[in-house]
Amino acid sequence: MARRVDMLTRVARIGKPFGVNGEVTVRLLTDVPEARFTPGVTLRSQEGDLELKAARVHGKTWLLSFVGVDDRTAAESLRGRELEVEVSSQETPDDSEEWFDRDLIGLVCTGPNGERLGVVDSVEHPPAHDVLVVKTEAGHAARVPFVSSIVLSVDTNGIELDPPGGLMNPDLEPDH
């Protein structure tokens, strides 16, 4: 029998505290918060694991509380943490237009004429929109906004890009 391997997937970034009882606001990085934020789940971060005590929606904002985080001061110390959960390697997003970071990393990026531009090295999640970090053929890291005007298509064989002039510039110094 094959062993199931779980992988970590980013689900949220902790924002400011909410109230005085240890709740925090979060910026969602998942489209299925109801499935990811169940009491008792372990949310992982570089700073340490957190056990979810409760999750609720207040207006349009998700609020989370964690075991052992019982006041505003403790909640403030969590600000900025990126949270990840273990997800089965067999799980795929419900929407065919969405991708887990793990599925994008390693994909070859080509231009509209089929020329090889580089390989996805990582995915960043700044506030405006996701960004593909592409290690170019010249050896530098190009940060490509994951928007439909630039990312023309994505499938398991690769990503077709139409980058604006200079974004993939091979004349830049290589990143080391």
- What residue ranges define each of the domains in the chain, with the CATH number in brackets? 6-88 (2.40.30.60), 101-161 (2.30.30.240)
3-state per-residue secondary structure call for 88-154: ECCCCCCCCCCCCHHHHCCCEEECCCCCEEEEEEEEECCCCCCEEEEEECCCCEEEEECCCCCEEEE
The span from the CA of 87 to the CA of 18, in Å, is 28
Q: How far apart are CA 12 and CA 67, in angstroms?
A: 17
Pairs from 166-169 (Cβ < 8 Å, separation ≥ 24): 167/142, 168/117, 168/118, 168/134, 168/136, 168/142, 168/144, 169/138, 169/142
Reported pTM: 0.60
pLDDT (0 to 100) of residue 3: 38
| Structure tokens belonging to residue 61 | 């904002």
pLDDT in tens, 47-95: 999 999 999 999 999 999 999 999 999 999 999 999 988 876 666 666 6
Residue 156's pLDDT is what? Answer: 84
Q: Is residue 5's pLDDT more than 50?
A: no
Mention every residue, 6+ apart, whose C-beta is less than 8 A from residue 169.
Answer: 138, 142
Sign of CA dihedral 65, 68, 69, 71: positive
The token duo for 153 is: 């298509």
Mean pLDDT of 10-23: 94
Residue 102 has pLDDT above 80, yes or no: no
